[in-house]
Amino acid sequence: NGVLGIYPANSVNDDDIELYTDETRSTVAMTWYGLRQQAAKEEIDGVMRPSRCLADFVAPRAINKDYVGVFAVTAGIGSEKKEAQFLAAHDDYSAILFKSLADRLAEAFAECLHKKVRTDLWGYAAHESLAANDLIAEKYQGIRPAPGYPACPDHSVKKDMFALLQCEDIGMGLTESLAMNPAASVSGFYIGHPDSTYFSVGKIGDDQLRDLAARRGMNERDLQRLLAPNL
């Protein structure tokens, strides 16, 4: 099962991205709060490397109308029952293999859907023609950042994502620790900017933590727990 949406979007406040309910861009469907790299950078050929944030790859409304995709897919509906059957039969090998297969199918589903978005549903790369090895090497335009990964380390955004996409309707949910359920699931965002690239936010300082807490209207201690590895 899977669900996706492509929403009118613009960057705001330098580091955040607003997703809107329609083309009027008057009602915010969700705000994706970003983190910016703070580590010291080296110059390359006399040019200072930028301190990146994912919001850099989405246009401010004053410059251009832009879009961001949100998706969630799973290949794990009902898999727990089958895995339990293998374990009850003391067949640990088949249980592990079955679980791995479900994980790989979910990843394949995510990759296939991303191509459909690039070439058809969003269509910003309608004439894309890449060999399998180039697809594996991610030589296509755009990125698919996921919560919890280096460019987007905050898992809590999945709450807003899953609510926006109504993931419960397709049998997907989140655990108390914000893990996806079923486990064989993939979720994330689509950004189509031709210069978009993956990066690691890395360590952030207390100043950015306080700023993010203020932007989100959150208690700083709660945010510290969410972003502990980055502090």
Kindly report, residue by residue over 129-140, the tens digit of the pLDDT: 999 999 999 999
Strand ranges, E, within 13-131: 16-20, 28-32, 43-44, 47-48, 66-74
Local structure of 163: helix, strand or coil: helix
Kindly report, residue by residue over 152-203, the tens digit of the pLDDT: 999 999 999 999 999 999 999 999 999 999 999 999 999 999 999 999 999 9
pLDDT at 197: 96
- If pLDDT is split at 50, 70 and 90, which confidence band does 41 have? confident
Domains of the chain (ranges; CATH) run 2-75+103-230 (3.10.196.10)
Q: From the CB of residue 208, how many other CB atoms can be counted at a distance below 10 Å?
A: 19
Q: Which of 106, 183, 198, 211 is nearest to 152 (CA)?
A: 198
Q: Which two tokens stand for residue 113?
A: 């859907």
What does each C-alpha distance from 103 to 74, 76, 123, 186, 213 come to in angstroms? 9, 8, 27, 9, 34
